[in-house]
């Protein structure tokens, strides 16, 4: 792809794609190639608008309009505006980027976070592989790998309908996500207890490991009880 070497300003759609790419952990060079822009354009854009961790398309667009000496206007809209009661698709895109960024910050791998965010914002919670590829601007293999990992965590399931593969969020995905997190406590507990047995609890290190193991087992117990309580309350 030939880089655009002119001085044309970044569009709102480009800023939205930059925000989504940053949330997924992609670098400046990769983003620049996708947009057909010089890497320096992307790095300056991000640096002047909060940096990697705080970049938001809406704010960057408003700042650019202010710098251009004109009153910030409404964001570019689709030719057909959303019907009453429908969400603004550009606002939804911005939210998805921030939502995915939050998940990445909490330890979720970037592509898994982007797929989850895209599925959460659909009323049906159901998407096809082709829809995710088009929405996230990634390869089919990247989507397939992310969905496979989400399946292993019990957050989504797949089925074939109309000769297409569909990915669907479980209705109680919030409960499943919490219990999966609680189950990860077992690994901490088991390893800490193993270390205490190897080192011996008569030493400060052994006591530390033993206490760590007990802490994570008790924490898991409380997390599962709380999750079950609120699942029943919200059902």
Torsion sign across C-alpha atoms 129, 167, 13, 49: negative
Lowest mean pLDDT among 27-31, 37-41, 61-65, 178-182: 61-65
Does residue 91 lie in a domain region?
no
Res 5: pLDDT:
39
Does residue 32 lie in a domain region?
yes
Specify whether 124 is located in the same domain as 148: yes
Task: Count the domains in the chain.
Answer: 3
Q: How far apart are CA 62 and CA 182, in angstroms?
A: 41
Lowest mean pLDDT among 5-9, 56-60, 101-105, 160-164: 5-9
Q: Which residue has the higher pLDDT, 135 or 209?
A: 209
Structure token pair of residue 173: 């995905």
Specify whether 62 is located in the same domain as 17: yes
Does residue 80 lie in a domain region?
no
Structure token pair of residue 19: 């925000």
Does residue 19 lie in a domain region?
yes
Specify whether 196 is located in the same domain as 221: yes
Residue ending a domain, among 126, 154, 169, is 169
Q: Which helix (H) or strand (E) holds 135?
A: helix 129-136
pLDDT at 128 > cutoff 80: yes
Categorize the per-residue pLDDT at 210 as very low, low, confident or very high, splitting at 50, 70 and 90: very high
Please give the model's pTM, rounded to 2 decimal places: 0.56
Where do the DSSP E strands lie in 63-213? 126-128, 156-161, 164-169
Domain that holds residue 40: 12-67
Does residue 148 lie in a domain region?
yes
Q: Which helix (H) or strand (E) holds 178?
A: helix 173-199
SS3 label, residue 168: strand
pLDDT at 86 > cutoff 70: no
Specify whether 157 is located in the same domain as 195: no
Output the average pLDDT for the chain: 81
Q: How far apart are CA 37 and CA 11, in angstroms?
A: 12
Specify whether 41 is located in the same domain as 56: yes
Tens-place pLDDT, residues 196-205: 999 998 999 9
Does residue 41 lie in a domain region?
yes
CA nearest to 178, candidates 230, 121, 234: 230
pLDDT at 30 > cutoff 80: yes
Residues above pLDDT 70, as percent of the chain: 87
Res 180: pLDDT:
80
Res 130: pLDDT:
86
The sheet that has 126-128: what strands, in order across it? Answer: 126-128, 164-169, 156-161
Does residue 73 lie in a domain region?
no
Specify whether 151 is located in the same domain as 197: no
Categorize the per-residue pLDDT at 97 as very low, low, confident or very high, splitting at 50, 70 and 90: confident
Specify whether 33 is located in the same domain as 60: yes
Output the domain CATH number for residue 148: 1.10.10.10
Tens-place pLDDT, residues 221-234: 898 898 888 888 88
């Amino acid at each position: 792809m030939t880089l655009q070497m002119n001085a044309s300003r970044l569009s709102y759609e480009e800023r939205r794609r930059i925000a989504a790419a940053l949330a997924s952990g992609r670098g400046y060079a990769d983003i620049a190639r996708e947009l057909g822009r010089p890497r320096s354009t992307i790095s300056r854009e991000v640096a002047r608008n909060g940096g990697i961790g705080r970049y938001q398309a809406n704010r960057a667009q408003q700042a650019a309009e202010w710098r251009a000496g004109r009153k910030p206007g409404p964001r570019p809209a689709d030719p057909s505006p959303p019907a009453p009661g429908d969400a603004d698709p550009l606002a939804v895109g911005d939210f998805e980027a921030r939502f995915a960024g939050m998940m990445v910050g909490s330890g979720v791998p970037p592509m898994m976070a982007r797929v989850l965010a895209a599925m959460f914002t659909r009323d049906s919670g159901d998407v096809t592989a082709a829809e995710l590829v088009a929405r996230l601007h990634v390869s089919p293999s990247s989507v397939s790998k992310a969905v496979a990992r989400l399946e292993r965590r019990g957050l989504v399931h797949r089925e074939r309908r109309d000769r297409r593969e569909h990915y669907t969020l479980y209705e109680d995905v919030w409960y499943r996500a919490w219990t999966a997190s609680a189950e990860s406590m077992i690994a901490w507990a088991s390893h800490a207890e193993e270390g205490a047995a190897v080192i011996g609890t008569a030493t400060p290190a052994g006591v530390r490991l033993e206490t760590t193991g007990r802490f994570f087992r008790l924490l898991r117990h409380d997390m599962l009880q709380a999750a079950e309580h609120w699942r029943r309350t919200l059902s």
